[in-house]
Structure 1
Amino acid sequence: MKKLVLILLVYAALEPAYAQPNPPPPARHSFIVISHRGDHVKCPENTLAGYAEAIKNEADYIEIDLRTTKDGELVSMHDGTVNRMTEGKGNVKDLTLAEMEQLHVKSKDSLDKDIYRVPTFKQILGLCKDKIYIYIDYKNADAAVTYAMLKEYGMEKQVLVYINNPQQFVDWRKIAPGMPLMVSMPGNVKDEAGMKAFIDKVKPDILDGGWKEYTPAMVASARAMGLTVWPDIQSANESQNWDEALAKGFNGLQTDHPADLVRFLKSKGLR
């Protein structure tokens, strides 16, 4: 994270033209629900079935993990290897798309007999266009290739990009200056002053991080500066924390339980 912050500071110093944060795609609801790796409680993570379930359950975004195969194809897989989620072995970057397509994504439900595959980015775009936005957790891909594919599918205005690597931030600002980029604050930011200093220097568009890292004052200040704050709350027992998260002033959360969170928000009159 220190290296990321350092490079972003250098980039910010070289780009005085950046003035206002890029907004995320137009909100469809007053409170945004981001489905972590799709609805992976009901379906295996990062599968078309999990993404379709999130659409059915009225989530606003699916979060996907974008990686590149040996032959340059974009697929969604959280880990750098296929070992945990499939019967295969090896790094995604060392396998061809044809080899990836032969793998079966494992289900946590031993009685689940459905067949799940590793989805391509093209398949995800085809499924999601005009139905749900995409939160791209940008693991290992080329910005130019990704953006060209987004434009091909007419979805360049239906995504945001979470930055994991310093060069990714620079690449996306060059390739698509209007793309909303999300970053997490470094661990040493503990209060409103530290957050403001970080925002002034790095100039992100959207803030992520754990929901507990924010105070109500920090959330209010970020929003006053034009930034969106959509932190992570996902956990097995996250519902116990939803009321407290709402009290902090968030208007969006990344969740492991999108259907339950949507029902909860409806009960509060927030959907």
Structure 2
Amino acid sequence: MTLIFAHRGSAGTHPENTMESFIAAERSGADGIELDVHLSKDGEIVVIHDETVDRTTNGKGFVHQLSIAELKELNASYKFKTFQSFIRSPKIPTLKEVFEWMRGNDLQCNIEMKNGKIMYPLLEEKMIQLIRDYQYEERIIISSFNHYSLVHCYQLAPELETAPLYSDGLYMPWVYAHAIHAKGLHPNLKAAPDMIIQGAMADGIAVRPYTVNKESDMERLMNIQCSAIITDYPAKAVKLRRKFFK
């Protein structure tokens, strides 16, 4: 059965990478969530997509130049007007906050390290220590466009699953996955034709394309029983999956 990972939570319907978005993903029936991590100025692992807070909050500046206290002051639904509230606006969560919430469910969690442009010192070590502290080794997938970082994660914690992200076509990407000790591949949907997906899965490599939002694309991937899809609309994907896997 094709698993459904909620991209930045239910990002199509809720402010991305917020607890509100992750809770909506759980309620939709998704199998997992996907989120992005950076380090704050004081070394906290925080969940936000961009290197800056400009696009998704009412603040400005680089994440790594703001303390956790400063980041927590921001409204993380700034561009999502329907979620603005006088009582409590959605905030930028820490990875630890997400892990605490995960104690109450069985969701898998795909952590994307956003360290392609800014090399955060000890991000891998801090993240892996937190995973081990919560004993989530079986629930976590680590992905990144920085494949050097994924190899470093494997060296630190070979028990954890890693999956390289990529956006252009690769020849026999499952061979590459084995070369860097990855158990999965996370290609852009445009770089994931059926032949490539089926070839990888036949070689024991899970394939989870992103970002799969059109029903026609969901149907195509479910028809070939793709390992998983990463989507902004988990509720739509769950509803569609019921037709394929009764």
Q: Quick check: TM above 0.5? A: yes
TM-aligned CA deviation for residue 265 of structure 1: 0.3
Match of 2:206 among 225, 228, 235: 228
Distance 1:230 1:195, change over 3 A: same
Count of aligned residue pairs for this structure pair = 236
Q: Is the 8 A contact 1:86 1:105 kept in 2?
A: yes
Q: Deviations over 1:223-266 (max 9, x none)?
A: 2211101111434xx11322222334413100111001001001
- Unaligned segments of structure 1, at least 5 residues: 1-29
Measure, in 2, the Cα distance between the counterparts of 1:103 and 1:262: 32
Q: Partner of 1:14 in structure 2? A: none
Q: CA 1:183/1:168 → structure 2, altered by over 3 Å: closer, same or farther? A: same
Pair member with larger Rg: 1
Residue pair 1:185, 1:198 contacting (<8 A) in 2 also: no
8 Å Cα contact 2:111-2:142 kept in structure 1: yes
Deviations 1:143-194 (A, max 9, x none): 111111112222222110002224312320121011111013573525xxx3
Q: 1:212 to 1:111 in 2, by over 3 A?
A: closer
- Quote the Cα distance in structure 1 between the aligned partners of 2:110 and 2:175: 26
97-106 vs 226-235, greater mean Cα deviation: 226-235
SS at match of 2:24: helix
Unaligned runs of 5+ in 2: none
Q: Does 1:250 align with 2:193?
A: no
Q: Deviations over 1:76-118 (max 9, x none)?
A: 0100000111111110000000101111112544343331100
Alignment partner, residue 267 of structure 1: 243
Q: Which residue of 2 aligns with 1:128?
A: 102
Inter-CA distance 188–116: structure 2 relative to 1 (3 Å threshold): closer
Task: Tell me, yes or no, if the aligned pair for 2:7 and 2:211 is still in contact at 8 Å.
Answer: no
**Preserved CA contact (<8 Å) 2:42 2:68:** yes
Counterpart mapping for 1:71-86 below 5 A: 71-86=42-57
Aligned to 1:52: 23
Helix, strand or coil for the counterpart of 2:69? Answer: helix
2:192 corresponds, among 180, 205, 214, to 214
Contact 1:38-1:53 at 8 Å conserved across structures: yes
Q: 1:31 to 1:247 in 2, by over 3 A?
A: closer
Aligned residues of 1:54 and 1:258 also touching (Cα < 8 A): yes
Distance 1:39 1:107 in 2: 16
Equivalent residue runs for 1:144-159 within 5 Å: 144-159=125-140
**SS of residue in 1 equivalent to 2:197:** helix
Scaled by the length of structure 1, the TM-score of the pair is 0.80
Please say if residues 137 and 159 of structure 2, whose CA atoms lie closer than 8 Å, have aligned partners that are also in contact: no
Contact residue 134 and residue 159 of structure 1 kept, 8 A: yes
CA distance in structure 2 between the partners assigned to 1:186 and 1:210 by the alignment: 5
Report the residue type matching 1:246 in the other structure: M
Match of 1:11 in 2: none
Q: How far apart, in 2, do the equivalents of 1:156 and 1:199 lie?
A: 20
Q: Secondary structure at the match of 1:253?
A: strand
Q: Call closer, same or farther: CA 1:185–1:102 in 2, change over 3 Å.
A: closer
Q: Determine what percentage of the aligned residue pairs are the same residue.
A: 24
